[in-house]
A and B are shown apart, each in its own frame.
Chain A
């Protein structure tokens, strides 16, 4: 069965501190992993995907197939990072059918 687990519903850190949002998955194949973000009053939008290996807004995420994890990290949190973050997976090339985690609400304190 396909499943995405985000163990933290809420995460609060101070501005300038490192941030790590955890994501574990189960999938019987080669998944594609994504992080989506929803800022206040905005629509859900793609933050990054493992295949692109990019750093977006200072965030990075590494796919660890051995630990079936795709944790999102940022070395120095900014107040504008406060948002809801969702980890999601799909089959290769299949952004049309996403399995989402429950989401983590990240709050950056000044």
Chain B
């Protein structure tokens, strides 16, 4: 079974630009969650999508948005990039049901210059 795949692995963007990151979940998983990892703040939950609907949201500004497609693939968008958005962005997928497990991708390293 293929794992969670995130593309691209690395990105360099300029302040003010926008960026889109992609996540392909494990086949059959309908939930996709996004996390931001920085040295200062650690791993922070951004949002979760299930069946194309945002089901949970963390405490991030509206510049951070996402969506999920009918095949469960998800994209995350950050608009008007700031230097502080430089981070490793992790995606995790999980199946439905009780006591599920989150499977993580290898992440996209975003650098804003």
Docked-complex contact B45 and A97, CB < 8 angstroms: yes
Indicate if the CB atoms of B94 and A96 lie closer than 8 Å.
Answer: yes
**Is B106 in contact with chain A by the CB < 8 A criterion?**
yes
Known contacts being A32-B99, A103-B42, is A96 close to B55, with CB within 8 Å?
yes
- B42–A101 contact, CB under 8 A? yes
- CB-based contact A100/B31 at 8 Å: no
Supposing A43-B104, A43-B106, A44-B104 touch, asked if A97 and B48 sit within 8 A by C-beta, the answer is: yes
Closest chain B residue to A6 by CB distance?
Answer: B42
Q: List the A residue with the shortest CB-CB distance to B49.
A: A96
Q: Interface extent on A, as a size class?
A: 10 to 19
Give every chain B residue within 8 A of A56 (Cβ-Cβ): none
Q: A95 CA to B103 CA in the complex, in Å?
A: 10
List A contacts of B99 (CB < 8 A): 32, 49, 51, 93, 95
Q: For residue A44, which residues in chain B have a CB less than 8 angstroms away from its CB?
A: 90, 104
Chain B interface residue count, Cβ-Cβ cutoff 8 angstroms: 28
0 or 1 for each of B92-105: is its CB under 8 Å from A? (1 = yes): 10100111111111
Are B94 and A45 in contact, with the CB atoms below 8 A?
Answer: no
A residues within 8 A CB of B89? none
* Contacting pair B100 A93 (CB below 8 A): yes
Are B102 and A46 neighbours in the complex by a CB distance under 8 Å? Answer: yes
Does B72 sit within 8 A of A, measured CB to CB? Answer: no
B98 touching A96, Cβ below 8 Å:
no
Q: Does B3 contact A (CB under 8 A)?
A: yes
Q: Is B56 an interface residue (CB 8 A)?
A: yes
Tell me whether A95 and B101 are in contact (CB under 8 A): yes
A99 at the interface (CB under 8 A from B): yes
- Contact partner of B102 among A51, A92, A96, CB < 8 A? A96
Q: Can you name 6 A-B residue pairings with CB atoms under 8 Å?
A: A43-B4, A43-B104, A46-B102, A95-B101, A96-B50, A103-B43
